[in-house]
Structure 1
Amino acid sequence: MSGRTKPFSGFEFMIAWRYLRARRAEGGVSVMTWISFIGIALAVMALIATLAVRSGFRYEFVGTILGANPHISVLSAARLTESGQTVRSLPDYAELAERLSTVEGVVHAAPVVTGQVMASAQGRNAGVVVNGIHARDLAQVPLIAEPERSWGDLARFDDGIAIGSGVARELGVTVGDRIRLISPDGARTAFGTSPRVSAYEVTYIFQVGRYDIDATRVYMPFAEAQIYFNRDGVADEIEVIVEDPDNVNRYTLPILQAAGRDVVLWTWQDSSGAYLQALQMEDNIMFVILSILVLIATMNIVSGLIMLVKNKSHDIGILRTVGLSEGSILRVFFICGSSVGLAGTVVGVALGCAFAIWIDPIFSFVNWVAGGGVWDPSVRLLSQLPARLEWGDVASAVTLSLGLSFVVTIFPARRAARMNPVEALRYE
C-alpha cells in the first residue's frame, strides 16, 4: 500500500481534516488551532496594512513633489558682472525655454522668478516663497491647476496672486482680500536699498495636500515678479516637466546640449533623494520587524502540531500498522499545519485589503474616539493618512506567511512520521 500511495491523496486530507476539527475530548487541539489561525490572520493583516500605508506615504510624497514642483530646474552658472557682482540670472530665458521645449521627452519648460518675502495681512505675518510665473505656465502645474481643494478662479491669476491654503489660514484671508508682500531687497536709491512693500489681491487659493507647500507657496504673475524682485529682463531659472520623472537622469544630457550655454541642472531627485532613501530604509526595516511578527504567529502552528502529535501517538501507531508510510504520516500533519497557515493568510489578506481600502472611515472613527488631533499635518506634511494597496506588497505578505507556515510545519510533521509504531502501541 505504501509503495502505491500517491502524495497528498484524498485519504491524507480526510485524516488531516478529522484531526483539525476534533474536539478536545477526542484528543484534538482545536483551541490551539484557533489561536494559530487568529494569530496568523492578524499578523498578515498588520503587515499588509503597514505596507499599504508605507506605499501611500511614498506615493503621496512623490506625487506632490512631482505635481507641484519642477522635475528639472535649469539654472545659470555663477558669473561675475563688470561691477564684480556674482549673478545667476538667465537673460535669454524665452529663447532658452523654447529650445528646451523641443527636447524629446520634455513636456513643458517655463521661466520663473523666485524669492523669499514676508507676507502680512490682518495684523498677521508669514514667511512665504514667491514664484513668478506666466498664467499659461501655471496652468501646466498639475496640483495647482487641479488641487485637492481650491477657492477662487485661476483664470484671474494675472489680476493678483495665488496662495496656498496654509498661507491663507495663517494670514486670515480669503479670495478677494489683499495681502502685503515685504521684501528687504527692494528699490535701489542713492541712499541704498530700501524694503519693497506691495499689496496684491488674492484671486486663487489652492490646497495640494502637502503642508510645506500649502503653508509657504505664493504664485505671482511673471512680469510683476520681475519688477518686484528687480529682475528686469531676466529669469532665475527654467522649470522643466518631463514625461518620465522616475527616470529623470536620462534627460539631463539632452537638456544640457539643448541649453547651449553654461547652466546647472537640479533634478527633483537631487532635492529629495536623501529623504526618499531614508524613507526606503525605513520601509525595509519595518518589513523586517513585521516579518518577525508573522514568524511569531506561525510558531503557534508548531506548538499546536506538537500537542497534536502527542495526543495522536496511538492513532499514528495504528495508521503505521495498517500500512501508512512515513511519508503519508508526514503529509497528514503537514496538511494540518499548512491548512491553518493558508486559512489564516487568506483571512489576513482580506482584512488587510479591507483596512487599506476603507482607511479613511476607519481613521475618522479612531480620530473621533481619541477626541481629535491624532493627525497633525504640520508634522507629517500630508493633510490625511494615505494608503495605497499594491499587489506586489500583497504578494510579498502572502509569500512570507505561506512560506513560514510551510517551513515550520515540516519539523513536527517529521517527528510524527518518524515515531516508532511499536513504542506508540506498547501500552495499549
Structure 2
Amino acid sequence: MAGIALGVAALIVVLSVMNGFQKELRSRILGVTSHIEVVGMDGALMDWQRVAAQALKVPQVLAAAPYVQGQVMLNGLNREAGEGPVMPGSGVRGAIIRGIDPQTENTVADFNTHMKYGALDSLQPGAYRIVLGSDLARALGVVVGDRVTVIAPEGVVTPAGVIPRIKSFEVSGVFEFGMYEYDSGLALIDLKDAQVLFRLGQTVTGVRLKVDDPFNAPQIARSIAPVLDEPAYLIDWSRKHANFFRAVQIEKRMMFLILFLIVAVAAFNIVSTLVMAVTDKRGDIAILRTLGASRGSIAMIFMVQGALIGLIGLGLGVAGGVALALNIETVVPAIERLFGIHFLSREVYFISDLPSDLQWDDVMTISITAFVLTLLATLYPSLRAARVQPAEALRHE
C-alpha cells in the first residue's frame, strides 16, 4: 500500500509541476512576444499601416502594433559620487532593442503589469528614453534616471573608417517578467527613436498581431497571408518557441514512464505478498475446497485482497499527491528557507519558481492505470491459489 501510494503521489506531483512549467512558460512568453509577427522580406516593412489594416480585417485578429528590432551594445554610464547608489555590474552588455509605440504595444503585449519601476508611457518620440529588463539594468549598474549609451552596428562612414552609431538614452523604466531570457536581454525604446537609430526612415521591422485564440495562431496566420498585398513572412509564437514546448512535452512523457516504474515495483510487491499468503494458507484453502468452495471463489478471495491493497494505496496516493500538488508553491519555498537552498537559479532556468497546474485528467489517467496494474498483479497468485489440490495440501496436516 505504501509503495502504491508513493508511486501515485509522485506521478501526480511531477505531472502537475510539468503542466505548471508549460503553462507558466506559455503565459510569460505571450506576455512579451506577440501571437503573430508580420515581418518584411528583407527585414523592413514599407507600408506597415496598410499591412496592419489588412490584417485587422481577419475576424480573429484583435490588435496590431508596429515594431523595430535590432541588436545593440549597451554601456551603463557611471554616476558621479553622491548622486545615488551604484548597482554592481560590468557596465557593458549586448541586448535586443525593440522600438515600440507605447499606445499600440499595450494592445498586443503585457508590459504594463510587469513594470517594476517607471512606466511604458514614458517612451516619447525624440525624448530618447529606454526601458530595460531588471537583470539587464542590474548588469549595467543603472537605475531609473541614469543614462546608458546605445551602440548600434549600423555605422557612419568617415575618412577614418566606419564608426558605429552611438546615442545616449535615459533609463525611464524597468520591467520584470521572471524569465531570464527577456529580463537580461531586452530593452524598449520609442518607435521613432528606433527608426532614427537604425536609419530606417519610415519603415519598420514588422507588425505584431494579437489574436483571440493563441493556440490557433498557426491557422490564423495562414488565413492572414492571402489578404496581404505586401510580401512578408508570418511567424506565429508557437514556431518561434517550438523547442521549449517540445522539450517540456517530451520530458513530461518520459517522467511519466520513469515514475510509473515505482507503481510497477509496488504491483510486484503485491504479487510477492499474495504468493506468500497463498503458500501460508494452503491448508485453509484445502479445507474450503473440501467444504465445497469452487476454484473461482478461491481465486476471488485473493483478487479481492489484492484489489483492496491497491484501492487503499491508490486512495492514499491520490489524496497525498493532490494535496501536495495544490500546495507546492507554499511547500517548496518553505523547504528552501529551511535548508538555505534554491532549486531553480534564475541564471540557469527560464523560470525561477516551481509552478504547479493540477489537471484532473492526469489524476484520472494515473488512478485508472495504477488500479488496472494492481488487478493484473493479483492474477498469478489467485490462479495459483485456485490450483491448490486439497489432498496434497492436507496430506501432512
**Residues 156-185 of structure 1, C-alpha deviation per residue, up to 9 Å, x if partnerless?**
233622221111221222223322222131
Q: Which amino acid aligns with 2:66?
A: P
What is the SS of the residue equivalent to 1:161?
strand
Aligned partners of 1:336 and 1:409: how far apart in 2? 8
- 356, 365, 371: which is aligned to 1:396? 365
**Residues 287-340 of structure 1, C-alpha deviation per residue, up to 9 Å, x if partnerless?**
111112210111111111111111222221222222222222111111111111
What is the SS of the residue equivalent to 1:98?
helix
Task: Using the TM superposition, give the Cα deviation of residue 234 of structure 1 relative to its aligned residue in structure 2, in angstroms.
Answer: 0.5
Aligned partners of 1:339 and 1:413: how far apart in 2? 14
Task: Name which of structure 1's ranges 260-269 and 127-136 shifts more when overlaid on structure 2.
Answer: 260-269
Aligned partners of 1:157 and 1:352: how far apart in 2? 48
Aligned partners of 1:271 and 1:107: how far apart in 2? 20
Task: Using the TM superposition, give the Cα deviation of residue 411 of structure 1 relative to its aligned residue in structure 2, in angstroms.
Answer: 1.2
Match in the other structure for 1:321: 290
What is the SS of the residue equivalent to 1:51?
helix
Aligned partners of 1:189 and 1:55: how far apart in 2? 56
Aligned partners of 1:203 and 1:274: how far apart in 2? 34
- 290, 315, 326: which is aligned to 1:346? 315
- 199, 223, 228: which is aligned to 1:230? 199
Task: Say whether residues 1:130 and 2:85 are aligned partners.
Answer: no
Aligned partners of 2:62 and 2:155: how far apart in 1? 35
Contact 1:157 1:204 in 2 (8 A): no
Matches within 5 A, 1:257-272: 257-272=226-241
Q: Which amino acid aligns with 1:136?
A: Q
Task: Using the TM superposition, give the Cα deviation of residue 280 of structure 1 relative to its aligned residue in structure 2, in angstroms.
Answer: 2.2
Taking a change above 3 Å as real, the CA distance of residues 189 and 95 of structure 1, as seen in their structure-2 partners, is farther
- 157, 174, 182: which is aligned to 1:205? 174
**Residues 318-373 of structure 1, C-alpha deviation per residue, up to 9 Å, x if partnerless?**
22222222222111111111111111111111211222222123222332344324
Match in the other structure for 1:8: none
- 310, 321, 330: which is aligned to 2:299? 330
Q: Which amino acid aligns with 2:204?
A: A
| Identity rate, percent | 35
Matches within 5 A, 1:44-123: 44-78=8-42, 88-121=43-76, 122=78
Aligned partners of 2:96 and 2:27: how far apart in 1? 20
**Residues 39-78 of structure 1, C-alpha deviation per residue, up to 9 Å, x if partnerless?**
1111111111111111111112222222211222111223
**Residues 67-114 of structure 1, C-alpha deviation per residue, up to 9 Å, x if partnerless?**
211222111223xxxxxxxxx311111121122122121121111100
With the length of structure 2 as denominator, give the TM-score of the two structures.
0.90
Q: Which amino acid aligns with 1:144?
A: F
What is the SS of the residue equivalent to 1:205?
strand
Task: Name which of structure 1's ranges 380-389 and 227-236 shifts more when overlaid on structure 2.
Answer: 380-389
Contact 1:143 1:208 in 2 (8 A): no
Contact 2:65 2:108 in 1 (8 A): no
Contact 1:60 1:386 in 2 (8 A): yes
What is the SS of the residue equivalent to 2:347?
helix
Task: Using the TM superposition, give the Cα deviation of residue 141 of structure 1 relative to its aligned residue in structure 2, in angstroms.
Answer: 4.1
Task: Name which of structure 1's ranges 276-285 and 212-221 shifts more when overlaid on structure 2.
Answer: 276-285
Task: Say whether residues 1:244 and 2:244 are aligned partners.
Answer: no
Gaps of 5+ in 1: 1-36, 79-87
Q: Which amino acid aligns with 2:65?
A: A
* RMSD (Å), alpha carbons: 1.9
Aligned partners of 1:152 and 1:350: how far apart in 2? 45
**Residues 194-247 of structure 1, C-alpha deviation per residue, up to 9 Å, x if partnerless?**
322222222221111111011111111111111111111100111112122222
Task: Using the TM superposition, give the Cα deviation of residue 150 of structure 1 relative to its aligned residue in structure 2, in angstroms.
Answer: 2.1
**Residues 227-269 of structure 1, C-alpha deviation per residue, up to 9 Å, x if partnerless?**
1111111001111121222222211232112211211112222
Q: Which amino acid aligns with 1:126?
A: R
Match in the other structure for 1:84: none
Q: Which amino acid aligns with 2:116?
A: S
Contact 1:64 1:143 in 2 (8 A): no
Task: Using the TM superposition, give the Cα deviation of residue 188 of structure 1 relative to its aligned residue in structure 2, in angstroms.
Answer: 5.4
Match in the other structure for 1:157: 123
What is the SS of the residue equivalent to 2:356?
coil
What is the SS of the residue equivalent to 1:91?
coil
Contact 2:19 2:356 in 1 (8 A): yes
Contact 1:291 1:400 in 2 (8 A): no
Contact 1:91 1:233 in 2 (8 A): yes
What is the SS of the residue equivalent to 2:39?
strand
Contact 1:44 1:345 in 2 (8 A): yes
What is the SS of the residue equivalent to 1:379?
coil
What is the SS of the residue equivalent to 1:362?
helix
Q: Which amino acid aligns with 2:15?
A: L
Aligned partners of 2:376 and 2:110: how far apart in 1? 48
Contact 1:186 1:230 in 2 (8 A): no
What is the SS of the residue equivalent to 1:140?
helix
With the length of structure 1 as denominator, give the TM-score of the two structures.
0.84
Q: Which amino acid aligns with 1:44?
A: V
Aligned partners of 1:140 and 1:324: how far apart in 2? 75
- 171, 179, 195: which is aligned to 2:140? 171
Contact 2:3 2:262 in 1 (8 A): no
Aligned partners of 1:202 and 1:340: how far apart in 2? 64
- 128, 138, 145: which is aligned to 2:112? 145
Contact 1:186 1:229 in 2 (8 A): no
Q: Which amino acid aligns with 1:157?
A: L
Contact 2:221 2:235 in 1 (8 A): no
Match in the other structure for 1:29: none
Match in the other structure for 1:40: 4
Q: How many residue pairs are counted as aligned between the two chains? A: 382
Q: Which amino acid aligns with 1:135?
A: P
Match in the other structure for 2:245: 276
